[in-house]
Structure 1
């Protein structure tokens, strides 16, 4: 017929059947094939099979969750994998994995592996497999895909055979009412195709949040659950609030045109003269903070230059300036901009998560506990900190989480220096932290290239896990 749209073909057949000209017979069949995770399992092994093999090779003392991480298994694999083995008979005693019937467990895993391997060659009929195995894998996300196919045959009835081809004529029917149709006159004499709600139709893919937006909402809910309030700020800031308020020296390389997006319209932003005086005093000789400052002469014109913010910490700095004697726990999630060359780990526009605890008794243990709680709620309970240097915090620490058996740095934190807080009118310690959202997203989604987060590939986005 030359028709490629099955909906049109089925609709035409149904119309002929309703007229008594054809009889339609339908045959349904189901086929099974590997989905994305199934293809990975076919090449590298099922998750439970890999963990079981590790258990067989490991000494008894190493058959623990920590040993599993040390062997290179990711946290999002370890929990589900151990759960699958528990369902087969593995149990945990005193923190170690043990089993009583190794042969039974090995046989079940071998059966599952054989099922996945047999599908590696292509789609097969559901009837050729054990229904229990199919039921098991249907309950596991992304391993198999089951497609139901309906074959239809049309046979002419006596009435259909009695019609001669010369008696047939084309009749144009309108199947869709459009604004253009209603605005004209053609619809008055047109023949409309009956609407059949039972006619076969393709199933559209359902909408879902973008993985980055889903992660932002998840992070937001964690901080709100921890008692924090969210703040926001403008993309365009003065260099004074973005840099000088954080005690970043005006000679710092990060302030050059090669690292920061400076604007030409507007080229400058008015800054309160009192703030310029305070920043000048702090930078030149430390003001009344006990610091010596950076020395030299503070450039007020430099402080008024307009730029795209390079971090979201400017939001918390402004919040402290507006509420110097009001205790608060706030966080922010927003876009920041830097002159970065695009590669697998860098983008010129990305997101940053930041927050502060501003209260009389704020201290470093409170900061570390807060960050450990946050990462634990995000699924990474193993967190450590190590000393670091940042120009606007003292002490300063970097935060690392255990991932694939290795420690991965995810952000910086510390206590704001007096040179930062005292010019803002605050006399209290301020716990502060910042981290890159995209790096956390790559960790959670298992990506190796940051650009994959923003490629307009709907298939890839649909295959990413729902956060």
Structure 2
């Protein structure tokens, strides 16, 4: 029997009594694994071999995970430093604990995001406590890291392994392992003798120009054989959802806003009647820029009206805040903590000119907040901003708008809860039910802008407004339980590759 060289080599390297892995057969036959695999499938088609497959999972430490095995997890270091500072007896300054831990840069955020999750203690308003009953020395994630490092992945805790993968400390890969075995017919042909046939696997320029292609025997090409997987680029599911949100809002009659990510506190907070000593305006919640530190220009007439609203109030019953207001503070530049800064620019007429009611505007843009990382909070995320300018608006109009909007995404169980905002009255939060956990998840905040916001802007009609979370909408649509699965350095790439936004 005559066979191409690769097929003959694979057939001779195979065994009739046991399965042999393709990589072993390839090494013995002095072939590339992919060449041996192709030859094996061709021999299987001829009934000379059987090819079997199994999926094998392997777990390896990333560079970061390997470093933690030699040292310790950042949250363990933070717990040790907190206890040393007395946090097991009462709250201590978070800055003091972080400084004593020796953590720097990204390690600080990692420690903070995992500290409370593991029950080591609590972090609140710049203070940290340590649970004296916690046992960081028995951390299951550290034990799992050590098991993987020692080549004992079977000893790893399954839940801890999943968490370590989300944190990017281990990488799990699944590979298809193929094995071959001689059939009775294959044994018979080997015993009868197998000769190597001279075949050509591809047409080359030399074969064509010389005319030799007419006299050679070409190897058969198996179009059903597995090919290498090629993964091209794909639009992120978050961007797909953002585009769908835009389509829905445009269909509801809204126009899109755009504006700067870094803006003056005047537009971000002061126009919203947020007092300058409000806790949300500290560095614990906002990111301030150092270059440049302040904006070049603010409209003088609007600055005076906003300042008057803060100091004296609006209307005969207005009193303002009775707290200092400094234009230098208003000129300071921050990364926007909400896209309502865009709403202030548009409503004031300084972005596109004076607007006459009725008007509807929206944006789906990124915002930045100095939050503690957890399954529902990130340092940067997307906000669905929107407002309607019209006469005689009511809360029922606002609730009806939300009902229509969320129904477009299959969400019909919205709940509303009264809330306080410095810039809207009445105000309420929106909640939806998570499809996997049945937990109530906050999805946004809304209300009717107060006169203290609208009168300085020169608006004499009603404005209802909202800020909704794009990521939490995604969680309700697809059942994601951790926002970091779709956004950031811990994103689940397989989940992103496989999930599609359904219209």
Same fold (TM over 0.5): yes
Of 299, 318, 333, the match for 1:306: 333
Structure 2 residue aligned with 1:38: none
1:170-212 CA-to-partner distances (Å, cap 9, x unmatched) read x9999999xxxxxxxxxx99x9999969484234346543221
Structure 1 residue aligned with 2:292: 266
CA contact (8 A) 1:289 1:419 kept: no
Deviation at residue 447 of structure 1 after TM alignment: 2.4
Give 1:279-290 correspondences, 5 Å limit.
Answer: 279-288=306-315, 290=317
Structure 1 residue aligned with 2:398: 367
Cα distance in 1 between the residues matched to 2:46 and 2:41: 8
Residues 1:460 and 2:495 are matched in the alignment: yes
Deviation at residue 364 of structure 1 after TM alignment: 2.0
Deviation at residue 296 of structure 1 after TM alignment: 3.1
Structure 1 residue aligned with 2:475: 442
Cα distance in 2 between the residues matched to 1:212 and 1:24: 49
1:201-248 CA-to-partner distances (Å, cap 9, x unmatched) read 234346543221222122222212222122122101000000000000
CA contact (8 A) 1:331 1:356 kept: yes
Cα distance in 2 between the residues matched to 1:374 and 1:421: 25
Cα distance in 2 between the residues matched to 1:298 and 1:437: 34
Cα distance in 1 between the residues matched to 2:196 and 2:244: 67
User: How large is the RMSD of aligned CA atoms in angstroms?
Assistant: 4.2
Residues 1:426 and 2:426 are matched in the alignment: no
Structure 1 residue aligned with 2:355: 325
Cα distance in 1 between the residues matched to 2:275 and 2:192: 93
Change (3 A) 1:260 1:195: farther
Structure 1 gaps, min length 5 = 18-22, 34-146, 178-187
Structure 2 residue aligned with 1:275: 302
Q: Select between 377-386 and 305-314 the one with higher mean Cα deviation.
A: 377-386
Residue 393 of structure 2 aligns to a residue in which SS? coil
Deviation at residue 386 of structure 1 after TM alignment: 2.5
Change (3 A) 1:4 1:317: farther
Change (3 A) 1:162 1:458: closer
Structure 2 residue aligned with 1:239: 265
Residue 287 of structure 2 aligns to a residue in which SS? coil
Cα distance in 1 between the residues matched to 2:425 and 2:387: 14
Give 1:386-425 correspondences, 5 Å limit.
Answer: 386-403=417-434, 407-425=440-458
Give 1:62-461 correspondences, 5 Å limit.
Answer: 161=195, 198=223, 200=225, 201-205=227-231, 208-270=234-296, 271-288=298-315, 290-322=317-349, 323-326=353-356, 327-403=358-434, 407-454=440-487, 455-461=490-496
Change (3 A) 1:202 1:305: same
1:340-390 CA-to-partner distances (Å, cap 9, x unmatched) read 222223211111111000122433221110011111111111223232111
Cα distance in 2 between the residues matched to 1:26 and 1:435: 63
Cα distance in 1 between the residues matched to 2:48 and 2:310: 82
CA contact (8 A) 2:484 2:491 kept: no
Give the count of matched residue pairs: 332
CA contact (8 A) 1:338 1:349 kept: yes
Cα distance in 2 between the residues matched to 1:7 and 1:29: 14
Q: Select between 234-243 and 437-446 the one with higher mean Cα deviation.
A: 437-446
